Structure 1
Amino acid sequence: MNNSDLLLELLSSNIVWVLLAVFIILCVLLGVRIVPQSEKYVVERFGRLRSVLGPGINFIVPFLDRVRHKVSILERQLPTASQDAITSDNVLVQVETSVFYRILEPEKTVYRIRDVDAAIATTVAGIVRSGIGEMELDEVQSNRQQLISRIKQQVADAVDDWGIEVTRAEILDVNLDEQTRQAMLQQLNAERARRAQVTEAEGTRRAVELAADAELYAAEQEAKARRISADAEAYATGVVAKAIKENGLEAAQYQVALKQVEALTAVGQGDGKQTILLPSSALDAFADAFTLLKGAK
């Protein structure tokens, strides 16, 4: 073997090793997949679903397995949609909605639905029209949270087969046509006028009640005063009766005669220029008083 043949054999051996190294490096590159935290990879083998790769380092079979879909699992928001609906009392309203969702099972999403956003938007529109059609306008305005919960639940049930989770559903606004707005404004003004009249009537009734209560209170206080006065008179009469019982009738007559003398004495006091007319019984009172006083002594 000459030098040229040896060199050729050595070169061929090096090429084989180089090709083998390149093949190994290519297998590593094709077999190792690093999946970001916010994504999932759908792997196929010969056109069929093989596996779903989660975040981190994953290994697949080179040249057999292929990453067909890279699906983001972040929460998504559908564009704000507006749809018309008719309430149960035949009022046309325009409802603006927004839905938030995220993909939980990408193997269902990529193989069961082509346009996820359009499908969810269509589902939401149908559910909103159905829900509002069962409610009156006042209920739509006052029970918006109940309607939102209903929409979210029904949308979640509808998209469950697509591997999607509905995280939030919002009704941003409920718009009315101008004619309905004017009718509602008139109704609101009439309701305000009615409430004002009711408030005024209640105020008048309350004033009458307070006046009656005041009169009743005054009557009760007056009756209480009369009762107290009567009790006092009864007590005084009882004291007099007790004194008469204990000291005899003469003691009472003595006190009465003494008061009569004092009263006549007070009448007689003056500057001496006046004329005093006394009934004849007054002299009898003096006589009785002096007799009693004399007997008392």
Structure 2
Amino acid sequence: DQVAYKLTTKQIVLDIPSQEVITKDNAIIIASAVGYISITDPQKAVYGVDNYTIGIQTKVQTTLRSIIGEMNLDAALSSREQIKTSLTSTIANEIAEWGIALRSVEIQDINPSKTMQEAMEEQASAERARRATVTRAEGSKEAQILEATGQKQAQILEAQGRKEAAEQDAKAELLLAEARQQSISMVSAPLTDKDMAVTYLLGEKYVSAIESLATSENSKSVILPADLPKAIAGMIGK
């Protein structure tokens, strides 16, 4: 008799080579894993399969392709725990017939392929450019809205200012007319001839005008009429 095979009962770390896997949305990713197994029945491990190492690696790879093939790219890249659970539950029952217990399968790497990474980078760059364009457009739109609002408010305030100024001018004119009326009444009260009161007030205006002309730098001489009342009476048609 001689020993044909020697097996270890320790836990074995089994490397699963990297492979290209196509996702449901036709994206290519590179996936690799590592398995932890223990031989529970050496006779089945030796005589139940030709090479249990290659057999387990092949099963993990094919099962991994099947699981990831039913996922989209984003889900495959972010669902390591889900992939790990599916791998472990599927393969454990199959290799149990070989007298091998599967302790766990860990996803070592799962990354997009180089060409896929370049495409994703271009997509991300295009998305950033699109967002920047949208942000600039929104900022320009808000600026135009604010400018238009400011112009409208300025026009409203300007119109209100003109209205208030017109109202103030009207009030001033009214007060001036009332003051003139009161002055005429005060002057004409002691006089019997009402036209004389008007003549008196016009004479005051006339004298004020002559004084303004006299103080002017361009004025050389001022001639006053000899009979001021008659002159004023002539102006008013009397």
Q: Tell me the TM-score normalized by structure 2.
A: 0.49
Which of the two has greater strand per residue? 1
- Which structure is higher in RCO with an 8 Å CA cutoff and minimum separation 6? 2
* TM-score (norm. length: structure 1): 0.41
